[in-house]
Amino acid sequence: MSKVRVRFAPSPTGFLHIGSLRTVLFNYLIAKKENGPSAGSGQGKLILRIEDTDQKREVKGAVESLIEVLDWLGLKFDEGPNLGGKFGPYIQSQRLEIYKKYAAEALKKGGAYYCFCSPERLEKMRSDQQGNGEPPHYDRTCRDLSEKEVKRRLDAGEKVVLRQKMPLSGVVKVKDELRGEIEFKAADLEDHVLIKSDGMPTYQFASVVDDHLMEISHVLRGEEWIPSFPKNILLYKAFNWTPPKFIHMPLTLNKEGGKLSKRQGDVAVEDYRAKGYLPEALLNFSVLLGWSPYTENVSGQSQSEILSLGEMIKKFEIKDLRTSGAVFDIEKLDYFNGYYIRQKNLDELAELCRPYLVKQWEKKGERFVKNVIRLEQERLKKLSDINEATEFFFADRLKYEPKLLIWKKLSAKEVKKNLEEVYEQLEKIPEGNWTNDSIEDALMSYIKAREVKVGDYLWPMRVALTGRQASPGPFDVAEVLGKPESLKRIKFAISLL
Ligand code: GLU
């Protein structure tokens, strides 16, 4: 079996696009599958390569933050700018000498040619083409310049780019591992730029050279690169290299079927992290955007979609990747996140919530904060919600509409009386015995003995303690608040009625 080597090749734009999470994850799974116990003998390697040749798009510190967020996700790479490896450097802007060498080779082998057309000329050409209703494309003016002329213009120091020499007729057939064979008409393929006038390679050139030199076995990338696919394959041919296998992943779409865009919400993994989404949830959510571990339709049987990284590795097969568009459904992400939050033990969860509760932590101390978190764990969808969800525990004075205290058809007077009775019962519980069980026992036996309705007492009590329509149960809240604070809050509620 040949060696599996895959790469994740982001451009350092300053953040990791949420859609790229899938690309990096699938690459990871392809690599780790090879290492897995049930797999073949290959040693799959995952490589991080930074594609920063478009210097206009470069953002300072972007590489470091990218590495940091990948690390946070728990996806371990084998080679990369921070890890080294024998195929480095892994940052394209540090590989310019390599591209120069291969540009010369492409020229020599007839796969490329020099083009001296000025930006002004190209601009005019394009607008003329558009005026004639043609799609803009390079008109190949420089394709057949004589060697002599090329030399003269190079010697004269004219600005020059390198273009790929495309076939003029026929079809170009390429094979995608998921989609099968795809045909392109040669006439539709432009002689696009491989090396820009500033000496920088384009994606088309650098990625092919690097994938070859880094011995990449599978290129897994977004389907927006399908139009480049024939160009890439032709370049491999020009060099006489064997291309890797290609897999193009469908785009992740928003619910309306459009592209995920910044305007519509968060697109950066970093944003989701800041909101308190856990790596496990982001990975589990992402893996199902384009892959399903269940190839057969097992109707009537509910299959768990909860998958740890280990389970993904075990179940992952390239052939199960899907080519249809995947919809980014935030509610589903919330569902996964809630699930993984519930799996944490209290200490872990408290640590995770800490950044969102810094002041509260200072004010009330670790024990109190942990007790609060314990009560919210069940309902928490993302860590950042903890602040709003638990505000009432830390408030010196609750703010709420007094009418919230009123249960169903009770009058304010009745509610007041009920709260006074609750107060009396609670007051009797010794502080040392202030637990949710003893509070429950005391109140429930009182309610039972008097044959009154539970809601008539517990609703106003809960609102008095929380100021909210929805919250954890009144006994739990009372326990966490402690006896003096609980009584204080009930007294306050009585004063409002
Ligand atoms: N730098 C390209 C991107 O960020 C990589 C595409 C590829 O994986 O080849 O989209």
CATH number at residue 353: 1.10.8
According to the model, what pLDDT value does residue 257 have?
82
According to the model, what pLDDT value does residue 39 have?
44
Q: Within a domain: residue 414? A: yes
Whole domain around residue 375: which residue ranges? 345-390
Task: Tell me: do 311 and 368 sit in the same domain.
Answer: no
Q: Which atom of ligand 1 is nearest to the CA of 211?
A: 9
Q: In the listed set 324, 358, 390, which residue is the last one of a domain according to the structure?
A: 390
Give, using CA atoms, the residue closest to atom 3 of ligand 1: 10
Q: Which of 221, 236, 267 to mutate to test the pocket of ligand 1 (most atoms within 8 A of CB)?
A: 221
Task: Tell me: do 378 and 337 sit in the same domain.
Answer: no
Task: Tell me: do 259 and 325 sit in the same domain.
Answer: yes
Q: Within a domain: residue 329? A: yes
According to the model, what pLDDT value does residue 303 have?
61
Task: Tell me: do 374 and 463 sit in the same domain.
Answer: no
Task: Tell me: do 400 and 496 sit in the same domain.
Answer: yes
Residues in the ligand 1 pocket, defined by CB under 6 Å: 9-11, 51, 207, 219, 221, 225
Give, using CA atoms, the residue closest to atom 7 of ligand 1: 221
Task: Tell me: do 270 and 361 sit in the same domain.
Answer: no
Q: Within a domain: residue 154? A: no
- Cα 221 to averaged position of ligand 1 atoms, centre (Å): 6
Task: Tell me: do 371 and 423 sit in the same domain.
Answer: no
Task: Tell me: do 335 and 350 sit in the same domain.
Answer: no
Task: Tell me: do 328 and 309 sit in the same domain.
Answer: yes
- pLDDT means over runs of 10, the chain (497 residues): 88 90 95 63 82 80 92 95 96 97 97 97 96 94 96 97 97 97 95 96 97 98 95 97 96 84 81 97 94 63 78 91 88 96 98 97 97 96 96 97 96 98 98 98 97 97 97 97 98 97
> In Å, what is the CA distance from 397 to each residue of 387, 390, 393, 394, 434?
17, 14, 10, 9, 22
Q: Within a domain: residue 418? A: yes
Q: Within a domain: residue 31? A: yes
Q: Within a domain: residue 188? A: no
- Cα 172 to averaged position of ligand 1 atoms, centre (Å): 22
Q: Within a domain: residue 122? A: no
**How many structural domains are present in the chain?**
3
Residues marked active site are found at 262
Give, using CA atoms, the residue closest to atom 8 of ligand 1: 221
According to the model, what pLDDT value does residue 41 have?
37
**At residue 103, what is the residue type?**
A
> In Å, what is the CA distance from 37 to each residue of 45, 112, 204, 314?
15, 45, 36, 8
Closest among 466, 421, 471, 465 to 442, alpha carbons compared: 421
pTM: 0.91
Task: Tell me: do 35 and 69 sit in the same domain.
Answer: yes
Any idea what the CATH number is for the domain that residue 458 is in? Answer: 1.10.10.350
According to the model, what pLDDT value does residue 262 have?
72
- Cα 118 to averaged position of ligand 1 atoms, centre (Å): 28
Q: Within a domain: residue 116? A: no
- Cα 37 to averaged position of ligand 1 atoms, centre (Å): 30
Sheet holding 5-8, edge to edge: 45-48, 5-8, 218-222, 245-249, 171-176, 180-185
